[in-house]
């Protein structure tokens, strides 16, 4: 249900759900939800571990996108308001 709602409200069409840009935006949405959850439940260590795994996957996808398509990478960074990678 949540994924369908995210697809409808996102900037991407249903055909682009496998693209790197969509995956990064979807992971960013999950990060925002988990950080909000962890504000209230600070000792939920399994959620913290899940957040770290999501952040690692998003970092790998951002690294791949910056190496393959720099213009798309910079556009996505500005749309999602996330920081650039330290090493490119």
Q: Mean pLDDT of successive 10-residue segments in the chain (88 residues)?
A: 53 77 95 96 97 97 96 95 83
Q: What is the pLDDT of residue 61?
A: 97
- Nearest CA among 28, 6, 16 for reference residue 80: 28
Number of domains in the chain: 1
The answer to whether residue 32 sits within a structural domain is no
Instruction: Supply the pLDDT for residue 86.
Output: 85
pLDDT of residue 13: 66
| pLDDT value at residue 60 | 97
pTM: 0.83
**Sign of the four-CA dihedral 13, 65, 29, 27:** positive
Per-residue confidence (pLDDT) for residue 3, from 0 to 100: 55
Q: Residue 36 corresponds to which tokens in the numbers above? A: 């909000």
* Structural domain contains residue 76: yes
Residue 72 lies in a domain: yes
**Domain range holding 73?**
48-81
Our CA angle for 14, 72, 36, nearest 5°, is 70
């Amino acid at each position: 249900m949540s994924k369908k709602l995210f697809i409808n409200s996102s900037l991407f069409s249903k055909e682009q759900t496998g693209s790197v840009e969509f995956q990064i935006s979807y992971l960013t949405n999950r990060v925002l939800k988990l950080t909000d959850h962890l504000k209230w439940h600070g000792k939920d260590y399994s959620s913290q571990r899940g957040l770290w795994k999501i952040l690692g996957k998003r970092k790998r996808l951002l690294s791949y996108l910056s190496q393959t398509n720099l213009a798309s990478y910079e556009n996505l960074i500005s749309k999602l308001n996330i920081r650039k990678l330290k090493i490119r």
